[in-house]
A and B are shown apart, each in its own frame.
Chain A
Amino acid sequence: MVSSKNLESRTAAVAEGRALERHDVVELRSRFGRAVRRLETDALGEPIVHVDPEHNTDVLGYLRDAQGFDMLKDVTGLDLGGDQPVQVVYQLWSTSESKPLRVKAEVPPDRPKLKSAFGIWRAANWLEREVYDMFGVRFEGHPDPRRILMPENYEEGYPLRKGFPLRGRFTRAEQTRRALARDLEDIYSLAELEVARSGGRGQELASRLGQVPGVSVSVAGADVPDLETSNMILNIGPQHPATHGVLRLVVELDGETIVKCTPHIGYLHTGFEKLGEYRTWNQNIPLTDRIDYLAPMLYNIGYALAVERLLGIDITPRCKVIRVICSELNRILSHLIWVGTTAIDIGAFTPFLYTFQERERIYNLHEAYCGARMTTSVTRIGGMMADVPPGWLDGVAEFVETFPKTLAETERLLTQNSIWIGRTQGVGVMGGADAINSGLCGPNLRASGVAYDVRKDNPYLDYETYDFDVPIGENGDTYDRYLVRMEEMRQSLRILEQALDRVPDGPINVSDPRVILPPKSEVMNSIDGMIAHFKLVMEGLKVPAGEVWSSIESSKGELGIYLVADGGPKPVRCRYRAPSFMNMSNLPALIEGSLIADLIAVNASIDIVLGEIDR
């Protein structure tokens, strides 16, 4: 649908208003009448349906059941400031027809309230919590309407509302004072602090709180069981060897069986989305690679692509191929650390070091290209930060040639290993339909048997011209997730080989002086060049008013970037739909009823990176 190739025809479609004649939109309108308030198109010509907030779930339910929009990709908010209504944006996708649809509901900013879409898509669970957390929109009927990224007792308000200052409502001194004034018991529930009963510490804490053991204590909104029950509450994290960052899983255990698992995230919340509204378009790029620091270039590329789509510009052929090379290198980079850390979590340490050596080679390539190893910031809107240095492509070619050996060695340690098979097969199973409904994405979704890959279903960077396969699992268990990722690395190598063969000569950046700085010779020698340079440096790039929901296939899943521009030098909204966030929200469903060891294995297998979850 949205390849940069047919951007032009797309723009034409907007002009003619054809997108709004799409049969699903027409049917929707005829069926719901005034509940569909108005129709718009975005920068790509995709339809946006504004619905009456009273009827949002009716429309969404109809879209899922009658129109085949089985995938809820994103729920997010949009505040335009002032008294304008807060918009809640639902980004839908139909896997059968490969088409998107955006539904918006406008709610008054003072008492925003909507019906929860959780009953339609389980994927809405965490997404709606995030909208509540960031915009204060309450979702009626949501099973767990708590804050998600901010602390549960956060008092400063809703950060992504325009009225919320970047530094927060309280002064730094006040924030520090409040943080220090908090007691352990404010953060952790009594049942978590209570240790083996004989220690007596639990009773001591209980009496300090004026509680009596045996009375149900409710702390921080979570229902904790009686102190008299035999279930143990175990806090896995925030510091734990197997949480891959600062993640806290509160696990209720019956013996070693997990009765209930509640992930607590937000420890690494950086506010990239809020920060994005205060940076110019190009200044946002260094923020993007800090989100998923394990595949930084993918985020750079995804973001640049989204802005370019919003601008309606087409990047140069050389840039496209270089971006494909960077994307696939980073996919391998991320999958390698996935294999390594998952193996560690299941007890095999050695594959980790094998994969790390290969990662080191990719990092060396990063360094040779842009000087940085992790925080690459390699793209610019309209191109790359520079052309690749001489010999760099040979380095990539050498990597492509030698890497399969290590991959095979790693596979030999794991694929047919009986213990590995025993630990991963049948663990953390989710079927295809469930996986689509609950927002599982990327290799996890494909392991469940759903052949959805943005590179195939909604190609960008000319991915449709590369010959590669999409590996699909059958059982949706941890073992399939492993196999899918191993195979994806091989497919990435195939893409890399083809890309290396076709790197065209020519400029890496577009020659549009409104987007890319003109060359120094022009700046110094012509008045036009100097003016263009001056305007770009002083004012930044201007993006025409409009919005776009653009996505790429990141290593973790579908990375959606929702950008809203008002014609100014900075985004109005800069939303990252993080694939890890979606995958993580499915962890409880995947592991409840299994053992602690499975929790660790499954948690590792869904490939989370906390920077991306917490943003």
Chain B
Amino acid sequence: MGQLSTTAFLISSALKVLGVFTIWLLAVAGVTLAERKVAAWIQDRSGPNRVGPWGTFQPLADGLKNFVKEENLPAGASRWLFYLAPVISMFPAFVVFAVIPFAAPLATPWGGVNMVIADLPIGFLFIVALGSLGVYGLVLGGWASNSKYPFLGGVRASAQMISYEVALGLSLVPILMLSGNVSLPGIVHQQQQSLWFVLPLLVGLLFFTISYFAETNRLPFDMPEAESELVYGFHTEYSAMKFAMFMMAEYSNLIIASALIVTFFFGGWDIPFWTGDDLRYAADGSIAGGQSAWWITLLTGLAYALKVGFFVFLYIWVRWTVPRFRYDQVMALGWKILIPLLVVYIIVLGAVMLLLEGAGITFGTRYLLWLTALNLILMLGIMFWLDRSRIIVGTGWRQMRPQQAKPRG
């Protein structure tokens, strides 16, 4: 067993791309269905149940409908940008997954195959860079439509994405500090060896999740769409397949958000409390850490899908539960709360890490447990001191005191 030959590498990569892309499209379709089914469940109604058993083929029917629907182009729209916008929106949403590892590496007769399409040494930066490309789709879509609601949606999109891009980038810094590398398989491996980063970076997870909610434009941060305010925001004027592409981009981003949370904080494809899957793909093509087997790869893949599925569910759950922020509240949350807090968090985390290393504790479970304690304290501080439990119990709610109207005169 060693490194793959060039031919084998090309073939395996092509197969991975094909496989992942197919599963990805199916997953996106599945998430659209899941969104409607979960929404229906939350809202005590049936949801789609006409097409196929349990409404399973609803996404297919939607796709077909979108293919045969009329495309329209608003008068005075900028034609090329109008067509380009959904593509720009969809492209990054589909490409980011290339650097995310989704299962344990597999040893084959031709050599070890790493279960990530492209293990880029700059995986991290790739995500950040491509993630911020997506906003161009929204902004261009809003601007090119030559219509006021999309225009406002586009403006909101650009402002919101830029603000939360900063918060998102900052919330990734703690992971970088802790893991010390930018390769995603590397980060997964570190979590297998010690603790899932959800514990030592609990506060980081909080900020990351919030930022990604804003990045995916989901309720409560769906400012660019805000259907009760801006009709449908940046894609008001879109119909048929171009509209579907925006939708696919949205749901792809949703899966990516979940996938990233899982990869950074929940051990990626790691199955907890089991060392049999602690496999690692080394640069020379060998697989270290245990005996590789197809069923381990399959099992870890399933574990990964389950974890991602849970976070997709979380996103859907939140969407159908809470109201929408106001635009200025979103901006205030980003600039006045998230970014300063993240900066403080990074400084505190760095200081404690420096202390720990000064005390001779090196990276490992004990080191991470110390950070866990720090994070728990910080979390409590944020919740009960800084936030003054405004979010948890909604302080500031008023009670209505019913009273008799004055007696008749």
On A, residues with C-beta under 8 Å from B are 1, 96-99, 195-196, 199-201, 232, 234-235, 240-242, 256, 343-350, 353-354, 357, 413-423, 425, 451-453, 456-459, 464, 469-475, 479-480, 483-484, 486-487, 490-491, 595-598, 600
Contact = CB atoms under 8 A, between A and B. Distances in A.
Nearest to A416: B394
A196 B143 contact: yes
A609 B45 CA distance: 26
A457 B328 CA distance: 42
Contacts of A490: 402
Contacts of B327: 256, 595-597
B358 interface: no
A469 B404 CA distance: 5
Contact of A348 (B143, B227, B321): B321
B409 interface: yes
Given A347-B228, A349-B39, A470-B404, 5 more contacts: A195-B146, A242-B229, A417-B322, A472-B402, A598-B326
A475 B401 CA distance: 13
A256 B44 contact: no
Interface stretch (B147-155, B246-254, B301-309, B369-377): B147-155
Given A199-B76, A419-B324, A451-B406, A350 B400 contact: no
A475 B408 CA distance: 24
Q: Which 3 A-B pairs give the minimum distances between C-beta atoms?
A: A347-B324, A416-B394, A469-B402
B398 A480 contact: yes
A479 B409 contact: no
A456 B405 contact: yes
A470 B408 contact: no
Interface string B368-398: 0000000000000000000000110110111
Given A98-B409, A472-B403, A486-B400, A417 B323 contact: yes
A341 B409 CA distance: 37
B148 to A, nearest CB: 5
Given A195-B146, A195-B147, A240-B231, A415 B402 contact: no
Contact of A451 (B147, B222, B226, B405): B405
Contacts of A353: 43-45
A491 B215 CA distance: 44
Which of B76, B230, B323, B325 neighbours the largest number of chain A CB atoms within 10 Å of its CB? Answer: B323
B42 A471 contact: no
Contact of A419 (B75, B230, B325, B403): B325
A422 B326 contact: yes
A340 to B, nearest CB: 11
Given A457-B408, A600-B229, A347 B219 contact: yes
Given A417-B323, A452-B405, A201 B329 contact: no
B267 interface: no
Contacts of A98: 408-409
B91 interface: no
6 contacts: A1-B408, A200-B76, A353-B44, A422-B325, A472-B402, A473-B400
B228 A483 contact: no
A331 to B, nearest CB: 15
Contact of A471 (B151, B219, B325, B400): B400
A97 B151 contact: no
B321 A350 contact: yes
Which of A195, A469, A474, A480 neighbours the largest number of chain B CB atoms within 10 Å of its CB? Answer: A195
B220 A419 contact: yes
Which of B76, B226, B324, B328 neighbours the largest number of chain A CB atoms within 10 Å of its CB? Answer: B324
A419 B45 contact: no
Interface of B: 39, 42-45, 75-77, 143, 146-149, 151-152, 219-220, 222, 226-231, 320-329, 390-391, 393-394, 396-406, 408-409
A423 B394 contact: no
Contacts of B44: 353-354, 357
Which of A480, A490, A595 neighbours the largest number of chain B CB atoms within 10 Å of its CB? Answer: A595
Contact of B76 (A201, A241, A421, A483): A201
Contacts of B406: 451
Contact of A470 (B151, B226, B397, B403): B403
Contacts of B323: 343, 346-348, 414, 417, 419-420, 423
A312 to B, nearest CB: 22
Contacts of A452: 405
Contacts, number: 159
Contacts of B328: 595
B146 A196 contact: yes
Nearest to A255: B155
Contacts of B393: 416
Contact of B324 (A346, A459, A483, A491): A346
A425 B398 CA distance: 9
Nearest to B325: A419
B106 to A, nearest CB: 43
Nearest to A239: B231
B402 A241 contact: no
Contacts of B409: 96-99
Contacts of B229: 242, 596-597, 600
Nearest to B143: A196
Contact of A453 (B147, B227, B326, B405): B405
A49 to B, nearest CB: 20
B400 A347 contact: no
Contacts of B219: 347
A487 B146 contact: no
A214 B335 CA distance: 37
Contacts of B45: 353
Contacts of B39: 349
A413 B143 CA distance: 36
Given A353-B45, A416-B394, A423-B326, A451 B403 contact: yes
B324 A423 contact: yes
B394 A483 contact: no
Contacts of A241: 227-228, 231
A242 B228 contact: yes
A418 B390 contact: yes
A33 B225 CA distance: 63
B321 to A, nearest CB: 6
Nearest to A459: B408
Contacts of A1: 408
Which of A232, A345, A349 neighbours the largest number of chain B CB atoms within 10 Å of its CB? Answer: A349
A162 B324 CA distance: 51
Contact of B148 (A232, A416, A420): A232
Contact of A456 (B149, B397, B408): B408
A477 B10 CA distance: 65
A195 B230 CA distance: 15
B322 A347 contact: yes
Contacts of A470: 402-405
Nearest to B146: A199
Which of B320, B321, B326, B400 neighbours the largest number of chain A CB atoms within 10 Å of its CB? Answer: B400
A464 B404 CA distance: 12
A486 B401 CA distance: 12
A98 B409 CA distance: 6
Nearest to A195: B146
Nearest to A409: B44
Contact of A597 (B146, B149, B326, B390): B326
A108 to B, nearest CB: 38
B325 A415 contact: no
Which of B146, B222, B320, B394 neighbours the largest number of chain A CB atoms within 10 Å of its CB? Answer: B394
A487 B402 contact: yes
Given A350-B42, A419-B324, A471 B75 contact: no
Contacts of A596: 152, 229-230, 327
A550 B220 CA distance: 46
Contact of A195 (B76, B228, B391, B405): B76
A419 B322 contact: yes
A422 B394 CA distance: 10
B334 to A, nearest CB: 15
A420 B220 CA distance: 11
A194 B69 CA distance: 28
